Structures are given as C-alpha cells and as structure tokens.
Structure 1
Amino acid sequence: MPDDIAVIGFDDTEYGALITPALTTVHIDAEAHGRQAARTALGLDTGGITRSPGRVLVRDSA
C-alpha cells in the first residue's frame, strides 16, 4: 500500500496498530486537550490561540 497511497489517522486508537498495514497516526494528549477546552469554554483562559501538541507515530501506512 505505501507505494500507491498513504493513509494517516488521528487519535492513535489501538486498532490502528493492529490492522495491516499498521496505520500511521497523530497522537495527542486527549486529557490535556479536554482540560484546555473546558478552561476556554468557561472563560478561564483568555490567551487567544491555544495549541495542543501532538506527535506523529509513523507506521506502515505512510
């Protein structure tokens, strides 16, 4: 598959590593992302742009 098409997922679910070819994916800290979203929704964070750092887990699909 990598010679014809590249596929990348998001959220690093366990299934991505189990399928063939294993799915390249983006992993984020969902708990930290949720906390920041709640702070923003409640008006506790007035900082402007918020970033959620993540990392790419390169597997066989890309």
Structure 2
Amino acid sequence: MLGASNSRLISPLIRREILKDPEVEAVLSFAVSQSGRQLSIQATVRTTRGDTLSLSEVFNG
C-alpha cells in the first residue's frame, strides 16, 4: 500500500482534507501509521464551536 516515504507525502494531503470541513477550526494532533497492508489515521481536532474531537480511521488494503 504505502511505504514510509509515501506515508510522509500523503499525510499533509489527508490533514488538508480534514481542514476543508467548515466545522473544523484546527488540527491539534495528527498521525498516520501503517502495519502491513493496514493504514491507520488518528487526529484530534478543535471545532468552530470549541469542542475537541478525536477521529480514528483504519483502512485495510
């Protein structure tokens, strides 16, 4: 799926997509990790209402 160098390239793209949501004010933390064919994305965001949300998504390749 993704090698380490591709992971570094795709991380800013995913972060940018999160920020496109009009209710997301800021990305407070962000991590992408890979284990075999599984890609995990974890982020913590602050919403325009001041809430802090944790997001997690796992993709199996």
* TM-score normalised by structure 2 residue count: 0.24
Greater share of strand: 2
Ranked by relative contact order (alpha carbons within 8 Å, sequence separation 6 or more), the top structure is: 1
* TM-score normalised by structure 1 residue count: 0.24
* Structure of larger gyration radius: 1
